[in-house]
Structure 1
């Protein structure tokens, strides 16, 4: 009986039909290791994102877009959504971001619309790519929204960095397999292109440098303020609305099991007990094993993006013209050449 993969001491269980002929992709851990069921560690910790010294060749825009389309729509649709939700919560750990959002009132007054708007625009970018007509329209929409607010370049860059770092961390810890180095590089390339077209300056030139910059910001600038907690509490209440009311306290506790101590401290939340963290890790690892098994049984299906599902804000269909703060929609939907008053509003958030 052959071994599972190079460097693995386990034998491949050939009696299991989904394992027949299975071989670990280059650059990934074997199925037994990625399941993590033989060594569940206690406590939420940041995944070590140290990369191999040999970086792949720089990807072209189309190649990177195709990879991100596959990751978000086919390989990891559920995981990508969860990782980007976690990225959203982490942005609230920066007082400069939470303060801007609190002054705007959007996240507290309309958290669901703000969440859906962000999710729909990100999903459409991942579906079509920044070089497509649809992708360019999304970027233009985001630029016109952000032009009304005094958002610092560093805050924009940190948000962009979470769209790269958090999916990589999530897949490494909870996914049915980690992202390969090539997939990580394509994810970086995709969002670097988007960031450049949004006018974000100083984007690190490599994935390694971006991840280092992301970690440095979190270590140096995460700290508690009341605005962090207010925005995070409003967002959490919105996320829990999808659960039946009797289960919401349990769902809240489980969500806390995904967060590291620096995040909970910065948001004014209590860190989950170690047994909750272990339970959440075990549940997500089991889910990853089942997802891997089902993926081998089922033929590949159509891509599924967040924008394919009905949303509470817009129902089964939406248009780009609906996205954005309600007070700005008239100006946002006016052609740029005739739109009055495109100046920034320093009292509002994006």
Structure 2
């Protein structure tokens, strides 16, 4: 398609330092909507799985007893900040609510940095492997800058200075801390049903194996997920690569932005108030 790379051309004409939000919005809403949403899901799965963080989540019961709502709330807060930025009142409200939710818990700065690193690195690597094209340097830098800004506004310190530096730090921390633990396994079993909804109905009998194949080996070990048979892993890889080639050759830029009619979630069929996202205020007071 002659206009397939129009958004990329436009992105390359922008300044990531100034226009990082515009670039990141374009990635999510126009260029890679399905891949970005899945990449963010995988990022949260990973962040929930290191022992220090998984222990907090199993103690609250938010992910194991109110799974759909907890996942919806997390996604809604992130999407509100991406769609509106940090200066818009809805973006400010979402950031304020995220800080309120985390305030009662003792979470180390390194663990906060790791969660931030998951959001930066995991979706980017997914795009590099399975996107219809790899993200360009402007897109990688804009992704880093958006989450660096989020991290700073959440009080996270010592954030690495570039995408490449963050990726290196993330890999080191991930290798040291993403270890097998029962809490991570419990959370994975609870959240797995949400990943299964992404599997086409015709492939439902292979659903659990396909979800396992979406994880890399360290995440499977941490969550005690069996390694799927080689044909399942190879078949998923081939299917995703084929999808990318078809999109690259026959696809066209999305004309209607993702969330053009507003952000929706199963837990809130009639809409939501940002102030009510997350656990009750007596559990996440501020």
The two structures share one fold, judged by TM-score above 0.5:
yes
User: What is residue 5 of structure 1 aligned with on the other side?
Assistant: none
After superposition, residues 27-42 of structure 1 pair within 5 angstroms as: none
Q: Is 1:176 aligned to 2:132, yes or no?
A: yes
Q: Say whether residues 1:222 and 2:178 are aligned partners.
A: yes
**1:210 aligned to 166, 190, 193, which one?**
166
Contact 2:76 2:263 in 1 (8 A): no
**2:261 matches 1:302:** no
1:110 aligns to what? 66
1:121-177: CA deviation from partner (whole Å, max 9, x where unpaired): 111111112232221211111111111222221111111111110121001101000
8 Å CA contact 1:259–1:271 kept in 2: the answer is no
Going from structure 1 to structure 2, the CA distance change for 1:274 and 1:132 (only over 3 Å counts) comes to same
Deviation at 1:308, TM superposition (A): 3.5
8 Å CA contact 1:69–1:128 kept in 2: the answer is no
CA distance in 2 between counterparts of 1:182 and 1:21 reads: 18
Instruction: For structure 2, list consecutive stretches of 5 or more residues without a partner in the other structure.
Output: none
Distance 1:246 1:322, change over 3 A: farther
Are residues 1:95 and 2:51 paired?
yes
**Alpha-carbon contact 1:59-1:186 (below 8 Å) kept:** yes
Matching residue within 126, 139, 149 for 2:105: 149
Distance 1:216 1:305, change over 3 A: farther
SS at match of 1:125: helix
Q: Deviations over 1:48-75 (max 9, x none)?
A: xxxxxxxxx9843x50000011001111
Moved more, 148-157 or 218-227: 148-157
> C-alpha separation between the residues in 2 aligned to 1:171 and 1:234?
26
- Structure 1 unaligned blocks of 5 or more: 1-17, 27-56, 333-340, 343-350
Q: Deviations over 1:214-244 (max 9, x none)?
A: 1001111111111110011101134335669
**Alignment RMSD (CA, Å):** 2.7
Normalising by structure 2, we get a TM-score of 0.89
The answer for the alignment partner of 1:312 in structure 2 is 266
SS of residue paired to 1:169: helix
Which structure carries more helix by proportion? 2
Partner of 1:72: 28
Which runs of at least 4 in structure 1 moved beyond 4 Å after TM superposition? 19-23, 241-249
Classify 1:78/1:114 alpha carbon distance in 2 versus 1 (closer, same or farther; 3 Å): same
Aligned length: 281
Report if aligned partners of 1:117, 1:323 keep a CA contact under 8 Å in 2.
Answer: yes
Residues 185 and 315 of structure 1: is their aligned pair in 2 closer, same or farther, counting only changes over 3 Å?
same
Contact between 2:132 and 2:245, CA under 8 Å: does it hold in 1?
yes
8 Å contact kept, 1:123–1:305: no
Distance 1:124 1:21 in 2: 27
Bigger Rg over Cα: 1
- Out of 76, 80, 95, the residue aligned to residue 124 of structure 1 is 80
Distance, in Å, in 2 between the alignment partners of 1:256 and 1:189 is 31
1:234 equivalenced with 2:190 (yes/no) = yes
Q: TM-score, normalised by structure 1?
A: 0.73
Cα offset, 1:247, TM superposition? 5.4
Alpha-carbon shift at residue 289 of structure 1 (Å)? 2.5
